[in-house]
Amino acid sequence: MESQSGECLAVLYQPLDHTRRTHWHDVAIVSAFARAMGDAGSVLDVGPGDGWPSLRMADRFSRIVGIDPSPKRVRVQRENAARLGILNVEFLVMDAEAMSFGDASFDGVCAASSIEQCDDPAAALAQVHRVLRPGGTLAMVFEDYSEYFPESDGDEEVWVERARSTDGPGEHVLFYQLRTKSPGREVRYGIVIDGVRLAGDRELSEVVDAMVGTPVSLDLQADSAPKRPDELSIPFLETLAPHVVSAACYELNHVTSRTLDELLRSVGFSEIRHLNHRIPLVHEAFDAAESEGRLDEYASTFVQVCEEIGVRAVDDATSGQGSFVIAQKPPR
């Protein structure tokens, strides 16, 4: 990717605009990262994408180092730093799971939606703990899988997607997906069905065609066996078998607030606090100003307002659930 953000990031690609909700949030979340770092002098940014939040925080710290395993990403980061004239931020090609820095090299570490994407998040967090000075702070935004299912333990679905070719029936893909919050896990199976062969079995073809479109939710009851439609029965799958071209599956493990806390403690972090990385208060402030036609009143003050909201969000962070986590490395 030439630009992970599609060049939509405030300041990095566009002037701050008081009429854009995303820019209000950008100011607030950058302020939250900076507040979490406290009085740090040197900061490590793990996986900074296009250089965010490193380049946005450059004026707050004496030295920032960003690391990314992709040479192409690092090239973009360096180009953005040069274009903006920022000299105190350095970007290096480096894997978070195998850092070459010495122990206690940084006063603070930040990471925006990167550590949970590593092959081994536990190894990455162990490295972060190692290079962080005693008493230093890790602040990270992560994809909290439990937020996908705020009212349930997960979901289970089945559906068919169809691709028609110009010279006749194309392929059908029967998908089955199971997602659970505890543990954070996603499993998906895909069975590819030859549309030409299937067309020869009118009755079966009608059954499959009826499954195209919106996924059908299955009953995920903890105290009973899932209630599956006939389309997932073994006899039905055996009937499909002669028409199957191929099949595949994948399984992903996801991070939740609970499992992240467990990982952080296992590598030595303590005093773990959470907040909502969306920082609802800043969106409420923007929506109120917009609905009342008062956005222009914030032309010169919205940065200060949003920075104060970001600071307050960090100060009010508590234990529990939230996709922005702050953790301390214990002092010696």
* CA-based nearest residue to 84, from 119, 55, 63: 55
In tens digits, what is the pLDDT along the chain, a chain of 332 residues? 556 667 889 999 999 999 999 999 999 999 999 999 999 999 999 999 999 999 999 999 999 999 999 999 999 999 999 999 999 999 999 999 999 999 999 999 999 999 999 999 999 999 999 999 999 999 999 999 988 888 888 888 889 998 765 555 678 899 999 999 888 999 999 999 998 889 888 988 888 888 888 788 876 444 444 445 555 677 888 888 999 999 999 999 999 999 999 999 999 999 999 999 999 999 999 999 999 999 999 999 999 999 999 999 999 999 999 999 999 999 98
The DSSP secondary-structure symbol of 323 reads: S
Q: Which SS3 state, helix, strand or coil, does residue 299 take? A: coil
Distance (Å, rounded) from C-alpha 63 to C-alpha 157?
48
pTM: 0.85
Residues contacting 174, CB < 8 A, separation 6+:
158, 159, 160, 190, 191, 193, 208, 211, 231, 240
Burial of 229-245, coded b for 16+ CB within 10 Å and e otherwise, reads eebeeeebeeebeebee
Residues contacting 49, CB < 8 A, separation 6+:
4, 5, 68, 73, 77, 112, 114
Q: Which fold has domain 21-144+255-328?
A: Rossmann fold (3.40.50)
Q: Which SS3 state, helix, strand or coil, does residue 193 take? A: strand
Distance (Å, rounded) from C-alpha 87 to C-alpha 213?
52
Rounded to the nearest 10 degrees, what angle do helices 257-267 and 121-131 cross at? 50
Distance (Å, rounded) from C-alpha 19 to C-alpha 153?
38
Each domain of the chain, given as residue ranges in start order, spans 21-144+255-328, 148-253
Distance (Å, rounded) from C-alpha 151 to C-alpha 129?
34
Asked if 14 contacts 21 with a C-beta cutoff of 8 angstroms, the reply is no
